Structure 1
Amino acid sequence: MLLINSESESEIKIIEKIAKKKNVVVNIGIRLNPNTDANTLKQISTGKKENKFGVDEKTFLKLVSILRTSKNIKLKCLSVHIGSQITDHKPYEKMLKAVDKIINKAKFNFEYIDLGGGMGISYEKNQKKLNYKKYKSAIEKFLRRNNSKLIFEPGRSIIGNTAILISRVIYLKESSKKIFVILDAGMNDMMRPALYGAKHQILPAFKNKKKSKKSYEFVGPICETTDKFLSVSNFNKLKERDLIFISDVGAYGSSLSSNYNIRPKPSEILINKSKVTILKKRQKLEDII
């Protein structure tokens, strides 16, 4: 293990207490809250002062000073993470300036700087993409001033676009203004829309030239108002038993899924060129009861 990233003074005290008891030295990092707005969904913003994550500048400097003389904790890393699904390089630039400022004040040589992740992907058509060249340029300027190794957590940017959720239309229920497309997939299978209000493109498995005159609202079968995925107009006309694809569920799809409402989880299948591998079998009701 490289190190433990700590979120608070209390957490560091517990780590030190355990390390002392076991007579070992533990490498840690301290997570700084840089008070930087990631300009993303408020539910996944983690770097503003009102967010629960990390410690503020005053506390950070205090902890650095205390840990200089600790016999059982070795401070190795300054850690930050300002949010998820970031598609603008400017918040990263502000974050790097905040980190640079705190390093100068701390007068401490951190072996590692963990810049977190949050690099966004395109969930919708024509959605802005992160300018990696400008982010890289800001990082290079930062490294010219700070001789540290960098850690990144790029998860979503690598796997977000690699998966789809296949669902079948159970019912079509028409109201005066729209048609509810009731799917066999629900918020337990894909939580992001219900949890964050996130939007994922939905595609028909088989295209046709007919369009629905009313808008479609794709919903799940769970007894929750938030069990819905997307509202869309001019969608391919669907009929019951048709298949649809919910796009870009590689990040926080399976990992946020649950057996809520005693619903078995779907199977997970990996397709690599012509090779098909079943990663997880579809659950049966008796598996969870």
Structure 2
Amino acid sequence: GMRDHVHLAGLHVHIGSQITDKSSYGEAGRFIAEQVTHVESARGQALDHINVGGGFPVNYVKYNDQSPDIGYYHADFSHADIAATVMGPLHDRLGRDREVVIEPGRSMVCDTAVHLARVENVKHRGIDPWLLLDAGYHTLMESFSYRWYFHTLTANRLDENETNLFRLVGPLCDNGDSFYDVEGEATIRRLMTAEPGLAPHRDLLEKTLIHQPGYRELPASTGPGDLIAFLDVGAYGMDQLFAMNGRGRPEVAMVRADGSVDTIRRADSVDDLYLNEVFAGA
């Protein structure tokens, strides 16, 4: 039959992205060992290698003591720890004869890029200052789709010590274009209104349901014209750029080892916004 003509080279498992619970890697190792044993027994054929996908988690909140309490973006163990945790059950169950590949994933390139956004305006809602940026979810899609946390700095005010808490929002036309978890905060408000008895558990609910800090601590003088730097955007950031509401994709530049700067992707022009449109009769 067909199985006699198919050579199974190995087993590839993807355990998920940005896994910051080290015990999950041990569980993955035990699961992989069980599956390899099952496949080899059924096929009567030894597998050559095992590929553990998903990538090493990145410590997105390592930069200062203002970092929010969002454990999903905090990785406090090394790549060697992950390898040892995965390899333990594999060696125990399968021995050491197979090649094992552990993919580094986003950790290879995450810290190679910074996204610069310009402050276009500042407004106040109550006592809260809001910074309106020229960057939105069309330039940092993961911030919207996964409510991913990217640490922020005011790039041109790094030497200023006096700080304030700011809301950060983008230029697009819906309330999801924000750098805080609009949906998570709204869910907490609805729960507190519907079930006042949940009030003693509010802290736990916020840690569970809110996936971004509500405010960013930045120099107090941050205002129009300043540059907000989003750090560690090298993984997937450039791939996920798209045009939205007439706002094109931004320029991308590379800083080389000698300090020189080259444009590696030009900013979209107006013509680019309708580049692939087909006009009747044209």
Using the size of structure 1 for normalisation, the TM-score is 0.70
Shift of 1:235: 2.2
Corresponding residue for residue 249 of structure 2:
265
Greater shift, 172-181 or 100-109, is seen at 100-109
Q: Does the 8 Å contact 1:89/1:131 carry over to 2? A: no
Change (3 A) 1:152 1:132: closer
Change (3 A) 1:170 1:81: same
Q: Does the 8 Å contact 1:120/1:130 carry over to 2? A: no
Gaps of 5+ in 1: 1-65
1:110 aligns with 2:57: no
Q: Whole-Å Cα distance in 2 between the matches of residues 205 and 263 of structure 1?
A: 23
Corresponding residue for residue 28 of structure 1:
none
Deviation string 1:35-87 (CA, Å, 9 cap, x unpaired) is xxxxxxxxxxxxxxxxxxxxxxxxxxxxxxx8633x3x432221111111123
Q: Whole-Å Cα distance in 1 between the matches of residues 245 and 55 of structure 2?
A: 31
Task: Give SS of 1:98's match.
Answer: helix
Q: Superposed, which structure 2 residues align to 1:1-289 within 5 Å?
A: 68-69=3-4, 71=5, 73-106=6-39, 107=41, 108-125=45-62, 127-141=74-88, 142-143=90-91, 145=95, 147-207=97-157, 208-212=160-164, 215-230=165-180, 231-232=214-215, 234-237=217-220, 238-273=222-257, 274-289=259-274
Gaps of 5+ in 2: 68-73, 181-213, 275-282
Q: Does the 8 Å contact 2:252/2:264 carry over to 1? A: yes
Q: Whole-Å Cα distance in 2 between the matches of residues 183 and 129 of structure 1?
A: 31
Q: Whole-Å Cα distance in 2 between the matches of residues 134 and 153 of structure 1?
A: 14
Task: Give SS of 2:83's match.
Answer: helix
Q: Does the 8 Å contact 2:83/2:102 carry over to 1? A: no
Shift of 1:92: 0.9
Give the letter for the 1:203 counterpart: L
In terms of fraction of residues, the more strand-rich structure is 1
How many residues are matched?
220
Change (3 A) 1:257 1:67: farther
Q: Does the 8 Å contact 1:200/1:229 carry over to 2? A: no
Q: Does the 8 Å contact 1:88/1:129 carry over to 2? A: no
Greater shift, 90-99 or 229-238, is seen at 229-238
- Structure 1 stretches of 4+ with a deviation exceeding 6 A read none
Shift of 1:224: 2.0
Shift of 1:146: 5.1
TM-align CA RMSD: 2.1
Q: Whole-Å Cα distance in 2 between the matches of residues 224 and 280 of structure 1?
A: 28
Structure number with higher relative contact order (C-alpha < 8 Å, ≥ 6 residues apart): 2
Q: Does the 8 Å contact 2:131/2:223 carry over to 1? A: no
Change (3 A) 1:271 1:228: same
Greater shift, 201-210 or 236-245, is seen at 201-210
Shift of 1:113: 1.2
Using the size of structure 2 for normalisation, the TM-score is 0.71
Task: Give SS of 1:256's match.
Answer: coil
Give % identity. Answer: 26
Change (3 A) 1:140 1:153: closer
